[in-house]
Each structure stands twice: as structure tokens, then as C-alpha cells.
A and B are shown apart, each in its own frame.
Chain A
Amino acid sequence: MWSNQGGGGGGFDGGYGTGGGGAGSGGGGFNSPGGFGSPSQSQPSKVRVKSKSLLPCTIQQILNAQQFDDVFKIGEVEAYQVTIVGLTRSVKQQETHVTYEIDDMSGPTLSVRHYGDKNSPDADKAMPVIMENSYVRVCGVIRNFSGQMSIAAFQIIPIKDLNELTSHILEVIHSHMYHTKRNRLPEAVGGAAKALPAGNAFAGAQAQNGLTSAQQQVYSAICACPLQEGIGIKELQQQVGSVSQHALREAVEFLSSEGHIYSTIDDDHYKSTDG
């Protein structure tokens, strides 16, 4: 059984031989210098990162959008993916897509194309039957074909609850206002002096509201931050230099338990409850 047959021995050697060869070539591949060359040395990149947000809009805003290279701007707000809510005026089924004319009362109708194979097995879910003269929500990407604005939709769904229309009107106003104001603010929001007029009612009041000096300073700095996600502990520490890290944490705990501030994206970001 242990007699060394030529075939068995040969098989073993063959196996190791190939394995060794493989490892060798693998090692060669890892050692090759070309694969990990620095990407910044390759062609100068002109592709700008497109806005990743889904912007609620009126159709008129989309029609007014200006194009700078491959970026659309609605007023001062960058727009790429948008969502609209409107009435379907017409539905035209074509081979590769369905074309809708949507009217949201803000002006002319807008063409919306929804690409999809109507013969595919999940066509019922992916491309629901949309009745004419019904309200729908469209989510898609703005397109400009020789001056004609349109949307290439990735989702079109019927509106079941008309309160969604109310919601959309408010979201349009809010998102455009928020992005316009945010773009106008200087980059260094950490500047303690940049307090928004509305948010800093307590800046002057010293110890009249039952807060210690340290708590007051921390609270003022939190109030002054206009960002939606609030101010982070690190920025807070930079702004309120006179307060020690430990005292800062204590102040934040106290303010939070009293209901003056609340945590937002994580335990290190806070906003004032006084809007």
C-alpha cells in the first residue's frame, strides 16, 4: 500500500509543481508596479459630482432650469434628481417606454418618459397602469433634449392620499428655501459670531434663565448653528474654548435633560429646541 508507485509519486509532484508555478505567477502579479498607479496622474477629470439629493420641484422650476455643462441649476439650487406631483394629462404607450404629459398647475405640461419593457415578467409592479387625469408622483432625472426639458423617470406611482399633494407643495418651498439659504452661508459655519437673527434670542440674557455661564455659552453656540443636523461636539468645543471638555459634556447633558436641546444624527450632534 505504501509502495511508491510511480503514478502516485508523479501525481504528487505534479500537483506541487503546478501549485508552485501558480504561486509564482501570482506573486509576479502582485509585484507588478503598473496596477496601483496613482489615479490622479491619469487624465484630468472634468466630471463633477452630481447632487445626490432628490429635489421636490414644480414643473415651471424644471422648465426654468439653467444648464451649466452637465449640471442643472434651479435658481441657486443644483438639481439632478427631482420629484414632482401632478395630473397625468396623457399616457402614450410606446415600444420601449411610456410617455406621460404631467400637469402640476404651475404652467405648461412636462413630458415624462418611463423606460421599461412592458412584456417583462415584473412589468405589473415596475410599470403600474396609470389612468389619465389622475394624480401621480414622478421621481426621475432632468433631461434636456435640444432645448426641450423632460424627465427620465425611474419611478411613477399613483397618489392614493391627496394629503401627499399638500406635502409636496410644502416640500418644494422648504427644500428650495433651505438649499438657497445654505448656499449663501459662508463655509466656515464654525465662526461663533455668525448667529442667525432669529435663533439667538438668549445670547444677551445672562443667568436670567437659570443656566450657569458655561451652560449659557454652550446653549448659545448650539442655537447659532443653522445646519439641519445641528452642531457637533467637536465644533462646539472649538467655539466655546473657555469650557473644559468635561464641563462641556455636562452642560450638554443638562441642556438635553431640561429639553433645551436634542440630539440629531448621533449622540454628538445637537440642535436647539427653540426654532
Chain B
Amino acid sequence: MAANPIVGPKPRVNASMLPRFQGKIVCLLGIVQTCDENGMSFKMKTTDGQDVLVIVSEMLSEYVEGLVEVIGRVNHQNNIDYISSSTFPQQTPSDFDMAHYNQAIQLAQDFSDFYVVA
């Protein structure tokens, strides 16, 4: 994926947090559910069990599947406008504890004094 690092915080979020971050750039971790035939969007299941639509402006250069971490901007419909992503081909999705990660990112928000982002 295009290595175009966004300088600035990309808070780790789940689906429930998206409304709070409208217009902002976030980091969403989840499992790819479906891919649009044109390759212009795909649906991800987030760590709090909800589905989020990720909209891609250019055709994806590689096929996204399994566990994926998407960096993008939250639009007004609480979808993600895709910027970049990372996949984890070595990771079996079922081995990754989604519930634990979900709890961890919530704690990171609650204790932002100790988990400091820009």
C-alpha cells in the first residue's frame, strides 16, 4: 500500500467511536467481510462487532482480506475514506483476540494521560 505517512495522530478506534471522530483521521483495525466488485469499497467487521464501510478513491493495488488495519478519514456517514492500510498475512484472524484489542483501545481513550497521542 502507498507508504504516505500522515504526520499527526491516528487514534485507534472501533465502530462505536467513529461519530466522535468525524472529519478526523483514524486507524481502524478489523476483518474484511466483503469486497465491492469494482474494488472501490469494502466492508470490515470492527473489534466491537459492527460493520464499517471503507471507501477507496483509487483501485486497490492489492487484494485486501483477513485482518487489516485501515488508516482513513471518517466522513459524515461514519464511513471511512481510505488513505492507506496494512495487512497481516501471517496472522490467523481467529488467533487475534478482537475483544481484548477492543478493551485496550477503550482504555487508551479513557486513560489518555498515560497513553499519549499528539
Contacts and interface: CB of A to CB of B under 8 A. Distances in A.
Given A109-B5, A163-B97, A64 B116 contact: yes
B12 A166 contact: no
A60 B108 CA distance: 13
Given A169-B12, A170-B104, 8 more contacts: A60-B9, A60-B117, A87-B86, A89-B3, A105-B10, A108-B7, A160-B90, A180-B114
Contacts of A87: 86
Contacts of B90: 160
Nearest to A101: B5
30 contacts: A58-B115, A60-B9, A61-B116, A89-B5, A90-B3, A105-B9, A105-B12, A105-B71, A106-B118, A107-B117, A108-B7, A109-B5, A133-B86, A161-B96, A162-B67, A162-B96, A163-B97, A166-B97, A166-B100, A166-B101, A169-B12, A169-B107, A169-B108, A169-B115, A170-B104, A172-B115, A173-B108, A173-B114, A176-B114, A176-B115
Interface residues of A, number: 32
Interface residues of B, number: 32
B63 interface: no
A163 B11 CA distance: 18
A103 interface: yes
